[in-house]
Amino acid sequence: MVEPEGPERPGRPEQPDDVTLEAIRAAAEILRGVVVRTPLLPFGRPDDGDPFGRTRVWLKPESLQPIGAFKLRGAYFNIATLSAERRAAGVVAHSSGNHAQGVARAARLLGVRAVIVMPSDAPRIKVERVREDGAEIVFVGPSSEERAERAAEMARVEGLSLVDPYDDAATITGQGTVGLEIVEQLGGIEGIGRAGGSTGGQGERPAGEAPFTVLVPVGGGGIAAGVAVAVKSLRPDAVVIGVEPALAADARDSLARGEIVTWTPEEMARTIADGQRTTSIGLIPFALFRRHLDAIVTVGEGEIARAMVRASREARLVLEPSGATTLAAWLFHGDELPAKGRVVCILSGGNVDPARYDELLARGVAAGG
């Protein structure tokens, strides 16, 4: 673990322009040893004639992180780069589950008090794990706006630092380390069998290889924004596509209109992907999307459940619905993706109640598996 120097953390990202490749690389150093450098796992049939059995599609299972989701990256980096005075006062966050777990674990590791505002319908497994890490929980209604307002109020009244789940440059920078890893790992995959065993430079595209595509889930937009910055900075020719449930496609609508569009909590509640029920994307993610994100693909509820089944059967991975949306995009929306080049599906998490998981698998099987 590398701790930033200086009491005021002068390098802490605060604005969209602060989310840079250099900042993401610095975050990777701070996160070293705290988060898992999740692997790229081959998925599907090997490419015809490939002597190493390489496939076109690769899975990046952030479900294998210590808290079962990518959120530890942004939460830890955010809290670690607060000033000593602000950390001593404690932090507050609002989340339906995975960010809550990330903040709770990061606060525990850093010795910081944490208060988490969670919806009353949050998955039980996520609530239990937040408590296990010693965080205090305040329950509110299902609306993401209500959670955000309560957390902001507690920050004002109690002097806590707000660790926003997505509309925060420091959080986004931490999540961007996923993209940094993908570019480095793909370079190693393409370098197999070549002289020296590498591509010759980080982010350099081997001769004859088509640009790769990264599929990243979109909820509030934090991971998609960070990954897009990291990937596009290293490989401008790469394609980064966000994936949303069709029943929670506010980011798609926002990019189409050129302004942030808000969906109602009732509309968002229809999707099984509880981690993507945010009623609107953040201001900072929206600004970064417009610069770096190539497109949005939406997936259906049955497709998400079917992707969970395929992940379980073919990759031996337990995914929550939000974690399966990118795989659903690959499996069922290939005509909306580039025709050539490697494809990486970021699987954002695997925190799902066992009974609910069994129910969703059964739904996926009934829909065609």
Q: Which residues are catalytic?
A: 71, 348
* 121, 128, 265, 301 from 142: Cα distances, Å: 6, 18, 7, 20
* Sheet containing 239-245: order of strands: 41-46, 55-61, 343-347, 213-217, 239-245, 295-299
Q: What is the DSSP letter of 163?
A: -
Per DSSP, what are the bridge partners of residue 240? 214
Rounded CA separation 30/7 (Å) = 16
Residues 6 or more apart whose CB falls under 8 angstroms from that of 193 comprise: 51, 52
Residue 253: which H helix or E strand, with range? helix 250-257
Question: Dihedrals φ, ψ of 217, to 5°?
Answer: -70, 150
Question: Dihedrals φ, ψ of 37, to 5°?
Answer: -80, 90
| Residue in 242, 217, 243, 91 with CA at minimum distance from that of residue 154 | 91
Rounded CA separation 263/183 (Å) = 34
Q: What's the gap between Cα 175 and its chain centre?
A: 6
Q: What's the gap between Cα 307 and its chain centre?
A: 17
> In the chain, how long is the greatest CA-to-CA distance?
64
In order, the DSSP letters of 175-187 are HTHHHHHHHHHHH
223 close to 175: Cβ distance less than 8 angstroms: yes
Give me the residue label for tokens 């602000």. Answer: 86
Per the structure block, which two tokens stand in for 85? 């005075």
